[in-house]
Amino acid sequence: MLEEAIYSISNHFTQLIVFLGFVLLLGIIIYIMTGKFDIHKKTSMYCGLLTGLNKKQILALCVILIRTFCIIYAVTIYSKNIGLSLVTIFLIDCIFILLSPKKILFEGINIIAQLIFIYLINVLKTYTLEISNDMHVEQISIVLSAFMIIYTVYFFLKNFEEIIRKKEKVRKNKKSLKKKNQKHQNTTTKLSKNKNA
């Protein structure tokens, strides 16, 4: 069992290397964009997006990034043993559900649908490579892959927006709490002044 698992992981070694390269590249780009903070430049917007996140939000951000990468990789690069990729995507999505448990039903259906779709694309690619180089089947698999990429990117941006909005909600809640506390303090000081008078 362990040997099979190690063998499966070794088959996906390229994916790990590509992912490391992708993360490194992303890190360099973000560093270049946000390294020198200038309020007059558009890059200050990116700084604003990424600052003030709590640990849960950072983890959620990482999870959706890894998930998007894994799905796009699984759909674009053919692998005969798609099992490990599907298990990885499933586990990553489970972590995402744990971070936002309110949406468990919607996310659960979404995950299962995505996994089945990726598997079907793989079946079509296997057909073109091993059985018959049918042009129709190849065209259909390309169209479905493109749809899956757009679908994944859409949900990445949607989840990213939700994570950032939570940060804004937390900030707004903190601000309104502060205002309430101040008002309360002001009324208590007025009352005490009136009493003294």
Partner 1 sequence: MKKENIFKILMVLVLIALIVVVSVYIIKLDTEEIENHSFYQYFGGRKIEYEGALNITQKEGITQLQLQNANIQLDSTPVYYEDIENQVLFPEDMALVIPNQNGQMYKINRFTNVYQKDDIIYAEYRDNQNELTNSFIYDGNDLYFFIQNTVLTVDGTNYEIPPLSYVIVSYQNSVEIYNKQQDTYEIIPSTSTNVTASTDQYSINLSLDSMKYGEKEQLLLKRVDTLKSINT
Which parts of this chain interact with partner 1 (CB under 8 A)? 106, 109-110, 113-114, 116-117, 120, 123-124, 127-135, 137, 140, 144, 147, 151, 154-155, 158
CB of 135 to partner 1, least distance (A): 8
| DSSP alpha helix (H) spans, 35-134 | 43-50, 55-76, 83-99, 104-130
CA 175 to chain CA mean position, Å: 28
Count each helix (H run) and each strand (E run) in the chain, helices first.
7, 0
The smaller minimum CB distance to partner 1, of residues 4 and 130, is found at 130
Contacts of 80 (CB under 8 A, 6+ apart): 126
CB of 107 to partner 1, least distance (A): 10
Contacts of 71 (CB under 8 A, 6+ apart): 89, 114, 118, 148, 152
CB of 96 to partner 1, least distance (A): 15
The smaller minimum CB distance to partner 1, of residues 63 and 118, is found at 118
The smaller minimum CB distance to partner 1, of residues 131 and 197, is found at 131
CB of 76 to partner 1, least distance (A): 17
CB of 99 to partner 1, least distance (A): 18
CB of 117 to partner 1, least distance (A): 6
The smaller minimum CB distance to partner 1, of residues 7 and 154, is found at 154
Gap between the Cα atoms of 70 and 80, Å rounded: 16
Gap between the Cα atoms of 4 and 12, Å rounded: 13
The smaller minimum CB distance to partner 1, of residues 117 and 160, is found at 117
Closest CA relative to residue 95, chosen from 63, 68, 121, 118: 63
The smaller minimum CB distance to partner 1, of residues 33 and 72, is found at 72
Three-state secondary structure of 168-191: HHHHHHHHHHHHHHHHHHHHHHHH
